[in-house]
Structure 1
Amino acid sequence: MPSREMDKIAFFYLRIWLICLFASNIQTASAQRIKPTGIFLSDSVEVGKPVYFSLIARHKPEVEVFFPDSSYNFSPFEIISLKSFVSVTDDRGTLDSAVYQLVSFDVAKVQALRMPVYIFQKKDCTAVFTVPDSVFLIKSNILDSKEKPVLKAETGLSPLSREFNFSMLIGSIALIIGVVGSIYWVFGQDIYKQWQLVKLQRRHLEYLRSFNRLMRNARERSNIKDAEKAIIVWKNYLERLEKKPFATYTTREIMDNMPDDDLADALKNMDGIVYGQEKSKNMDVYLEVLKTGATRLYRAKRRFILDTQMT
């Protein structure tokens, strides 16, 4: 119940009680003792629902009186709110009043409550209690324990549409870029060198497999065409290794780029075998010299990559 509606109801019941109190002359100005009155504003209560309790005290104007606040033990009730009213003074004395909004979770059939007012004296406060007032419990909202409860679904499941989380995607991409960038900044030079060396080694192994197969065929079969193919594979490999057009170079141009007496002699003899179609027992020896020269260039290229510092 909203607080404003509660105030209106409490004030209405309080006015009725005050009229009845004044009409019956229960308290008079000449009374020597303060006798507070406390009553429930209804005669019944339900578990967990609010009930109102009115507390009234008439006293001499010079006497200071205090009402219980929310820290007071209202057992078997619990306080929800407290509404105090302005003191009223006339020829019969001063009237103080308050309405307490309470709630009970007790299942006792009859529930009673009495409350004190505190009279301030020089050294301490004296508590003066009201006559106990009772309310009866209504069991309309209490489940009978003999009845077996049945669970009922309150709502059905509703399918939810899937939405793509773009913020998560952007955050993940940014994180990956940051991690990769950090790794490259710290280890980029070493990673690049290793990648270059891996590619260089893979190409060299491919060249060796092809060249060795053709050289073996040329030796075992005395096949000049296999020897010619081996020279072509050798030139193509040098072209990729040195980034120069070795495949179109003549023997003289090759020797200008690779000055080596043994290599020059081997190339001249292979030219005579290939172009003169003259078989030679030393053909495999000349091819081995070519292979050795290419391997020497491969090792030089490998040392160059290892010694190069990236800028």
Structure 2
Amino acid sequence: MRNLILFTLLCLYPSALWAQQIALPSGTFNRDTVKLGEPLKYLLVHRHPDTQEVVLPSGKNNFAPFELVSRDFYPTKTKGGISTDSAVYTLRTFETQAVQQLSLPVYVLRQSDTLQVFAPSARVHLQQLVQQVEEPLPVKSETELAPVEERFNWPYVLLWVVAVITFLSLVWLLFGQAIRRKYKLYRLRKDHLYFASRYGSHVDRFVKSGATGSIEKAVSLWKNYLTKLERSAINSFTTKEIVEFYENDEEVNTALRICDKAIYGNMQTESEGETNLALGMLRRFAKVRYKTRREQINNAKNRQ
């Protein structure tokens, strides 16, 4: 038994001798008092021979009763064979003890072992904001609604806009050609009905009054309608150019020459029946060109 005790003392003696050669680190708070949850800085400094390898605590260390917020390490400074390592830890506490203390270790690395050297405990006093607590605690009721600022839901609106645009793009991709064709036919029919109504009014006015101006307005309306229908400047053509444009169509040639004679020759009184016939020929020709244009639009569908 005596030999076992001597053997144990011999084993512990080098460790005790080694521990005596290591200076204790110093740890201090930056102030004496702290409020609950308020950031508090803890400065840890360790001076040691430059031959020793030292590691300061990382974020995984136990900081109870405090919580670690952040840490800052500073480069090692060596002067006269003595190195200084330091770090600042930002802490906070949510414990309610009046006095709280902390002691952090420094890890000294040896060849086959690591030695922990703790700094003396640093103390801080918790500042009590509530001096007296009433029992039971009074409960204050608040029944009035608090005004809340209305916020526009931009993400929701943006989502709807993207969805609508995507839907319309898909519809246009699938049915765009058909929609354009239907619209062209709609405008074509609308323009023809408008022309037929106005043209008929001018013809009726001529039949009732025999005024040359009615013939001139009817022919001008006919030219403007065909200009839009054929997409060509027919309203700026002469009678000869119009006849050539329609490949010397006999009906167009006859009708326009009769109307020109009635307008510029002032001879409608002698040949009102002939003029009425010419105006009817122009109306019929415009209707034929309308049907031709409508068939062209419909045939474009079959070619796609």
TM-score by length of 1: 0.50
Deviation at 1:164, TM superposition (A): 1.3
Deviation at 1:181, TM superposition (A): 1.0
Deviation at 1:153, TM superposition (A): 5.0
2:253 alignment partner AA: A
Q: Which residues of structure 1 form unaligned runs of 5+?
A: 1-139, 142-151
Give 3-state SS (helix, strand or coil) of 2:144's partner.
coil
Misfit runs of 4+, over 4 Å = none
> What does the per-residue CA deviation read over 1:76-116, in whole Å, with 9 as the maximum and x for residues that have no partner?
xxxxxxxxxxxxxxxxxxxxxxxxxxxxxxxxxxxxxxxxx
2:170 alignment partner AA: S
Are 2:281 and 1:293 equivalent residues in the alignment? no
* Fraction of identical pairs, as percent: 27
2:293 alignment partner AA: K
For the residues of structure 2 that align with 1:262 and 1:153, how far apart are their CA atoms?
96
For the residues of structure 2 that align with 1:153 and 1:238, how far apart are their CA atoms?
83
Residue number in structure 2 paired with 1:252: 240
Q: 1:240 aligns with which of 207, 228, 232?
A: 228
For the residues of structure 1 that align with 2:201 and 2:224, how far apart are their CA atoms?
16
Is the CA contact 1:219–1:283 (under 8 Å) kept in the aligned structure 2? Answer: no
Q: Which moved more, 1:171-180 or 1:153-162?
A: 153-162
Residue number in structure 2 paired with 1:274: 263
For the residues of structure 2 that align with 1:183 and 1:244, how far apart are their CA atoms?
33
Which structure is larger by alpha-carbon Rg, 1 or 2?
1
How many equivalent pairs are there? 162
1:266 alignment partner AA: A
For the residues of structure 2 that align with 1:153 and 1:243, how far apart are their CA atoms?
80
2:213 alignment partner AA: K
Alignment of structure 1 residues 45-124 onto 2, 5 Å: none
> What does the per-residue CA deviation read over 1:55-94, in whole Å, with 9 as the maximum and x for residues that have no partner?
xxxxxxxxxxxxxxxxxxxxxxxxxxxxxxxxxxxxxxxx
Deviation at 1:243, TM superposition (A): 1.0
Q: 2:218 aligns with which of 218, 223, 230?
A: 230
> What does the per-residue CA deviation read over 1:134-189, in whole Å, with 9 as the maximum and x for residues that have no partner?
xxxxxx99xxxxxxxxxx95442111101111101110110101111111111111
For the residues of structure 1 that align with 2:196 and 2:164, how far apart are their CA atoms?
40
Q: 2:204 aligns with which of 212, 216, 222?
A: 216
Residue number in structure 2 paired with 1:207: 195
Residue number in structure 2 paired with 1:307: 299
Is the CA contact 1:204–1:298 (under 8 Å) kept in the aligned structure 2? Answer: yes
1:234 alignment partner AA: W
Residue number in structure 2 paired with 1:171: 159
Give 3-state SS (helix, strand or coil) of 2:151's partner.
coil
> What does the per-residue CA deviation read over 1:185-226, in whole Å, with 9 as the maximum and x for residues that have no partner?
111111110011001111111111110000111112111110
Alignment of structure 1 residues 15-34 onto 2, 5 Å: none
1:174 alignment partner AA: V
For the residues of structure 2 that align with 1:288 and 1:265, how far apart are their CA atoms?
12
For the residues of structure 1 that align with 2:246 and 2:221, how far apart are their CA atoms?
17
Deviation at 1:262, TM superposition (A): 1.6
Give 3-state SS (helix, strand or coil) of 2:158's partner.
helix
Residue number in structure 1 paired with 2:75: none
Q: 1:186 aligns with which of 168, 174, 184?
A: 174
1:172 alignment partner AA: W
Give 3-state SS (helix, strand or coil) of 1:211's partner.
helix
Give 3-state SS (helix, strand or coil) of 1:308's partner.
helix
For the residues of structure 1 that align with 2:141 and 2:290, how far apart are their CA atoms?
78
Q: 1:153 to 1:205 in 2, by over 3 A?
A: farther
